[in-house]
Chain A
Amino acid sequence: MSNSVVHLEHLTKQYIKSSKPAVSNVTLEIPEGAVFGLLGPNGAGKSTTVMLLCGLMRPDSGSVSVMGLNVLEHGAVLRKQIGVAPQEIALFPSLTAFENLFYFGRMYGLGADFIREQIKKYLKVFGLTEKAKKPVHTFSGGMKKRLNLIAALLHQPKLVILDEPTTGVDVQTRNMILDFLRELKGQGTTIIYSSHILEEAERICSHLGIIDEGRLIIAGTQSSVMEKHPDCQNLEQLFLKLTGKNIRD
């Protein structure tokens, strides 16, 4: 696919102390401007895939290219085009919202004025303007999630990777985040969205990939994936059909 932003080719990664590969022979393309739902049960290999995608891990075999460039060879350049919001609140609790964002902006190598503009813009979008000078440890869980997301967007990345962005937040915050993601998609940004909340993925993802035990079971546009399993009424049924009902830890 010529307009793919992410291209994984026969990607395999096995951890030294593990008996099974965390990611096994995964081949995947994510087109530009897609919201790609990377779905899978706990321990399925989603986080390892994301780490490989960002060039923070070396695959045992296969290759990863983002925007046509190999991530291991052009990691430094590519990371400036990728924004990652990890599931953990990766912020400094005793710093204010502004100080956190300004520091991360600086670490992206951005200029002070540009960072201030971006902070102002996103704090307004996510309703945190009045909290700019408050230390993060005083924030609610939802406010921290929003700030965590802003930190991944400051440098205007072309590819945004979100790991469970709405877990543990109230309905209003979830709604705000999902609205924003739609707006981001409208601007042409490619989004990789990892979540357990399948109803949410169904609402916003144009493309889906279900991964289990390191293997990509199914991938494609949401409609094409659903069409392959006409017996499934919704994504949750499809997910359970493909990954089984056994509890994963």
Chain B
Amino acid sequence: MKILATIYKELLLLIRDPGGMALIFIMPLALVIVMALVQDAPFRDYQEIQLEVLFVDQDADSLSAKVKEAFEASPNVNLITKTDTAEAKKLVQAGEFKAAIIIPEHASETLRRKTRQLISTVFSNFGLPADRTDSAVLPVIELKIFFDPAIKANYQQTLSNAIEKIIANVQTSWVLDELQNQLSEGNAEAQKTDFDLSQIIHVSQRYASENKYQGLMLNSVQHNVPAWTMFAMFFILYPLAGNFIKEREEGSMLRLRLISGSQLPVIAGKFAFYFIVCLTQFLMMIAVGIFVMPHLGLSKLVLGGNAVLIFLTASCVAMAATGYGVLIAVYFRTAHQALSFGSVSVVILSAIGGVWVPVYVMPEILQTLSRFSPMSWGLESFNDLFLRQASIHTILPNVLRLLGFALVTVSASVIIHHSRTVV
């Protein structure tokens, strides 16, 4: 009865506090949308980004044609042809383009001749008739790629790998071709075969997820929605501690002590109310991920298939967040101290907990520290449920950590409060 009365009283106080309502509901929604939009590009890797790349074709032969053809077939590269190497370099240097590929003069011809010489040498070494007409020492073919100094390392790596792969394919194909040419020398009836090298070996890439969740990976929405939801839930300490200390300073807390002696019903009522608020925040943020994000050009949030486990995890995060808020409210004597320490600590816990950027991109020391952040426990559990369709056994350790955190903070609050009020 007393707990229900306190929950109702807290509800009335909150709905009559537009600032508090905005802080609890509007700000987190704005935050999650802005952060998802801001982090959308960094989350996309090379496969999702279209890079504008300059292409200077001084070769104008089969090798450059093959490179051009391969890149034009890629949805991630937009080749823009230029004729002048110096101009291309200048444009990249100015940051107008991410890279410029320069195919030098006679690259195809030199590659053909080098291939022929190579096969001839091999035939000759094995005592087979070989074409020894071309014995000139040919220079190394030097393809150049100019990169914008500000290009992300993974884009640079991916572009280089793509070119090396294209050239390796061309080279292999031409080796086979030359091999057939030299073997069929003097045999008019011999038929050349066009080999499709892609049919020999194929690398198949799949995510280790259930079939219906194939293609689902950590993107801006999948990261930011649960991450900032937890941030918002932990930020509940702001109104919670603010109201608690205000009531203490204004004397209504003393009246409640005079009424019932114990403040347990008051603290329990506050805990229950803010727990419900946290869960409401969670539902709202998830709804934004599902229904609003797609309208902003972002991916739709995918929850995985286990609503019960998601609710369990959200409840444990809500308990941990509320427990932390109560501890801050009880421990600090002034609102200024509580709110300053509380908000900075939530920002730190969120940073090391992987809210701002995923834990795996952090330095090792922060990755170690992140194991002690309740937000990391929550985020890891949500990732397990949303992306990996994890079972209760997988998320149980983190769920228990969150519950333990809630228990420790609430117990500490009760002990501190008791020690200060019973003199």
Instruction: Give residues in A with beta carbon < 8 Å to B.
Output: 15, 54-58, 75-76, 79, 82, 84, 86, 88-95, 99, 103-104, 106-109, 135, 151
Closest Cβ of chain A: how far from B72's Cβ, in Å?
66
Bound Cα distance A108, B5 (Å): 11
B16 at the binding interface (Cβ < 8 Å): yes
Contact partners of B254 in chain A: CB under 8 A: 86, 88, 90
Cross-chain contact A55 with B9 (CB below 8 angstroms): no
Given contacts A58-B423, A89-B250, A94-B16, contact A103 B9 (CB under 8 A): yes
Given contacts A95-B9, A106-B1, A107-B2, contact A90 B16 (CB under 8 A): no
Taking CB atoms and an 8 Å cut-off, the chain B residues in 258-287 that contact chain A are 258-262, 265-266
Taking CB as reference atom, which chain A residue is nearest B5?
A106
Cross-chain contact B1 with A109 (CB below 8 angstroms): yes
Cross-chain contact B261 with A79 (CB below 8 angstroms): yes
Bound Cα distance A56, B257 (Å): 8
Give chain B's interface residue range (CB within 8 Å of chain A).
20 to 34
- Closest 7 pairs between A and B when the two form their complex, measured CB to CB: A88-B251, A106-B5, A90-B251, A90-B255, A94-B16, A84-B258, A90-B252
Taking CB as reference atom, which chain A residue is nearest B260?
A107
Cross-chain contact A75 with B9 (CB below 8 angstroms): no
- Sample 17 A-B pairs with CB under 8 A, ordered by A number: A56-B423, A57-B423, A58-B423, A75-B261, A76-B261, A79-B261, A91-B252, A92-B247, A94-B16, A95-B12, A95-B13, A103-B6, A103-B9, A104-B259, A107-B6, A107-B265, A109-B2
Residue among B247, B252, B260, B265 facing the most chain A CB atoms (10 A cut-off)? B252
Q: Mark B411-423, 1 if CB is under 8 A from A, else 0.
A: 0000000000111
Closest Cβ of chain B: how far from A2's Cβ, in Å?
28
Cross-chain contact A89 with B251 (CB below 8 angstroms): yes
Contact partners of B6 in chain A: CB under 8 A: 103, 107
Cross-chain contact A54 with B258 (CB below 8 angstroms): yes
Given A90-B251, A99-B12, 18 extra CB contacts under 8 A: A56-B422, A57-B423, A75-B261, A79-B260, A82-B258, A88-B250, A91-B250, A92-B9, A92-B252, A94-B16, A95-B13, A103-B5, A106-B1, A106-B2, A107-B6, A107-B259, A107-B266, A108-B260
Bound Cα distance A135, B266 (Å): 22
Bound Cα distance A95, B1 (Å): 19
Contact partners of A56 in chain B: CB under 8 A: 257-258, 261, 421-423
Contact partners of A92 in chain B: CB under 8 A: 9, 13, 247, 252
Contact partners of B423 in chain A: CB under 8 A: 15, 56-58
Given contacts A88-B251, A106-B2, contact A58 B422 (CB under 8 A): yes
Taking CB as reference atom, which chain B residue is nearest A151?
B255
B185 at the binding interface (Cβ < 8 Å): no
Closest Cβ of chain A: how far from B98's Cβ, in Å?
56
Q: Mark B237-262, 1 if CB is under 8 A from A, else 0.
A: 00000000001001110111111111
Taking CB as reference atom, which chain B residue is nearest A96?
B12
Closest Cβ of chain A: how far from B87's Cβ, in Å?
68
B164 at the binding interface (Cβ < 8 Å): no
**A135 touches which of B16, B250, B251, B261 (Cβ 8 Å):** B16
Taking CB as reference atom, which chain B residue is nearest A83?
B258
Contact partners of B5 in chain A: CB under 8 A: 103, 106-107
Bound Cα distance A79, B257 (Å): 10
Contact partners of A86 in chain B: CB under 8 A: 251, 254-255, 258
Closest Cβ of chain A: how far from B415's Cβ, in Å?
17
Bound Cα distance A52, B337 (Å): 30
Contact partners of A55 in chain B: CB under 8 A: 261
Taking CB as reference atom, which chain A residue is nearest B258?
A84
Cross-chain contact B255 with A84 (CB below 8 angstroms): yes
Cross-chain contact B250 with A90 (CB below 8 angstroms): yes
Bound Cα distance A151, B254 (Å): 13
Bound Cα distance A95, B6 (Å): 13
Bound Cα distance A242, B55 (Å): 102
